[in-house]
């Protein structure tokens, strides 16, 4: 699994994720329940340094850790649509120099 590049775990009832392979370049987690009992935090996502695409849409997320995306230096597209995020911590994307698309509709 060292060369796994894309994971799609859409449309489930996941409330937690752990152990995602760090070679993943695309991670699709849309339409789960990650925000209901799991605050999306930097500990879970810190190993995903090669991630280019992350979709967390439709997850009931309302809190984002300030360091959540800090180690995702390759991140190019981030989708947070249809959540309940009402604010973004200062400096949230300071390390994401490659970020081209940030979609935050319907929050």
DSSP 100: -
What pLDDT score was predicted for residue 3? 77
Whole-model pTM? 0.91
Tell me the residue length of the chain.
Answer: 107
Is 5 within 8 Å of 28 (Cβ atoms)? no
pLDDT at res. 75: 98
pLDDT in the model for residue 80: 96
Beta strands per DSSP E along 5-90: 6-8, 26-28, 53-55, 77-79
Q: Which DSSP state fits 12?
A: S
> Which pLDDT does position 73 carry in this prediction?
95
Q: For the chain, how are helix, strand and coil distributed in percent, rounded to 5?
A: 5, 15, 75
Q: What is the pLDDT of residue 41?
A: 61
Query: From first to last of its 107 residues, what are the pLDDT tens digits of the chain?
Result: 567 899 999 999 888 887 788 899 999 999 999 886 555 666 778 888 999 999 999 999 988 888 889 999 999 999 999 999 988 999 999 999 999 999 999 99
Provide the pLDDT for residue 98.
98
Closest to 43 in 3D by CA, of 15, 67, 16: 67
């Amino acid at each position: 699994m060292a060369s796994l590049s894309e994971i799609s775990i859409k449309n489930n009832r996941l409330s937690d994720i752990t152990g995602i392979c760090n070679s993943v370049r695309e991670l699709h987690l849309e339409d789960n329940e990650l925000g209901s009992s799991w605050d999306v935090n930097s500990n879970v996502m810190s190993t995903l340094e090669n991630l280019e695409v992350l979709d967390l849409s439709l997850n009931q997320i309302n809190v984002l850790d300030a360091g959540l995306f800090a180690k995702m230096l390759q991140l190019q597209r981030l989708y947070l649509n249809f959540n309940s995020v009402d604010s973004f911590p200062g400096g949230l994307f300071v390390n994401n120099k490659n970020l081209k698309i940030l979609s935050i509709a319907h929050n």
